[in-house]
Amino acid sequence: MGLSNDMVFSFPEKADANGYDALVAAALRGDERAAAQLVQSVQRPSLRYAAAILKSDELAHDAVQEAFIEAFTKLYQLRTPAAFPAWFRRIVFKQCDRIRRKRSEQADNETEATNDDDPQKQFLRTELQERFYQELRRLPEKERRLAELHFIERARHRRIADELGWSEHTVKNRLRTVRRRLQTVMLPFLESKAQIWTALRLAA
């Protein structure tokens, strides 16, 4: 089914966390009330997630709205309704990545047009961001979500552990592995390992 643009951000009802089977089935039959509940169940966390990636509330709204339109267009492809929130988050990430790439290209063009005083610094930032998000897309799903929570959403270990179903000890161990992987990709653009934290924060 389709989702009109004016449906996206105005629904007061929340979806039952255990009712995705019924809601997805009803939405596929064209039930707009069920579609509204699906939207409401993921709307706020999706906006926060997109804003953390894009550093802009306005762009976050654009990304999430496009994600809702894509999600309801492809809802028939969702094989496990209970996975709707995680499935939708992946779509939001894809839309954010699309917007981020477009914005990066525009920034490059503006830099060239205005003869930026420090084009090398601008290039480094753009290149770090590109490599960071490229590697993020290659990570397994849980490790990717770990990196998103830590580097993009700045979540504490306790919150990460709760969301991923891990102990805090496991979070720390997995984070070390992810950090080493990102270091390997980004170090060619840095002078020393001491810069990796700054670089990762900059890229995210």
pLDDT tens sequence for the chain (204 residues): 444 433 333 333 344 545 899 999 999 999 999 999 999 999 999 999 999 999 899 999 999 999 999 999 999 999 999 999 999 999 999 999 999 888 877 665 555 545 455 555 565 567 777 778 888 888 998 999 998 888 888 889 998 998 899 999 999 999 999 888 887 776 665 544 445 445 555 455
Compute how many other C-beta atoms are within 10 angstroms of the C-beta atom of residue 51: 19
* Nearest by Cα to 67 from 41, 39, 48: 39
What is the pTM for the complete model shown? 0.64
The domains located in the chain, with CATH, are 1-102 (1.10.1740.10), 116-204 (no CATH)
Helix axes 84-114, 32-54, angle to 10 degrees: 40
Burial 183-193 (b: 16+ CB within 10 A, else e): eeebeeeeeee
